[in-house]
Amino acid sequence: MYHHIFSILAVFVGSLIVYIFKPSNQKNLKLLLAFSGAFLLAITIFNLLPEVFEDHQHAKQTGVWIMIGILLQKILEYFSKGAEHGHIHLHKKTTRIPKLLFISLGIHALLEGFPIHHTEGILVGIIVHKIPIAMILTTFLINTQIKRTTIIGLLFIFALMTPLGTLISEHFEAVQKYYKEITALVIGIFLHVSTTILFESNEGHKFNITKLMVILAATASAYFI
């Protein structure tokens, strides 16, 4: 039960940071994103990948599902405009709910909830990933002309999607039967999101020692969890 609460709290904490502190330093947010990306990537490699490749006879099939996950995330990002890795490119004066954005983010959040109760450490990775995403999403929404009550409702629904994915994984036999395939698909999603955060072209390709130290710290933390 605790993993449901913590995954919801991650969105709540990220939104609360924006509402209370109104952070404006983009450099700090980028470092937080870098930490979350490196942590998620390391957790995926250290914990999820060994689990799905235990069955060596179906290793190639597992690889296919990972590639499907990568391609699925690419499609989702077409509609979310890159919100999963820190970018939202929508008109700030809008009064309309960005439905495609929330549908794609919802699918992403739902799927990432599937392996939580099976794999050690993945909950922490998802929490670390969700906090900066919730901050970015909240910052975008409060700068639009969408009603505040609507924004709170949207964020609440978004927060519930990951626990919903976990509940489906726990209680539906049809899903449990294909757990490894779904987990491999989620690995593909995580690999795409985390590597995009870490390696996308930014800062003029300059070497950034601070970002490197943050990535190393995140990797070491993930290893010891």
**What is the predicted pLDDT for the residue at 26?**
73
Give the tens place of pLDDT for each residue, 170-202: 888 888 889 899 999 999 999 999 998 887 645
Check residues 181 and 94 and name the one with the higher pLDDT.
181
**What is the predicted pLDDT for the residue at 209?**
87
Give the tens place of pLDDT for each residue, 23-33: 777 778 888 88
Distance CA 17, CA 42 (A): 26
In sequence order, the 6+-apart residues with CB closer than 8 A to the CB of 87 are 81, 136
Distance CA 8, CA 156 (A): 8
**What is the predicted pLDDT for the residue at 217?**
95
- CA distance readout (Å), 174 to 73, 108, 130, 214: 23, 20, 28, 40
Question: Is the Cβ–Cβ distance between 35 and 214 less than 8 Å?
Answer: yes
Q: What is the mean pLDDT of the chain?
A: 86
Q: At what angle do helices 26-43 and 122-142 cross, to 10 degrees?
A: 150
Question: Is the Cβ–Cβ distance between 64 and 181 less than 8 Å?
Answer: no
Distance CA 223, CA 225 (A): 6
> Which residue type, as a one-letter code, is found at position 100?
L
Retrieve residue 96's tokens.
């309309």
Percent of the chain at pLDDT exceeding 70:
91
Q: Is the model's pLDDT at 45 over the cut of 80?
A: yes
What average pLDDT does range 128-155 have in this prediction? 90
Q: Is the model's pLDDT at 38 over the cut of 70?
A: yes
**What is the predicted pLDDT for the residue at 96?**
83
**What is the predicted pLDDT for the residue at 18?**
92
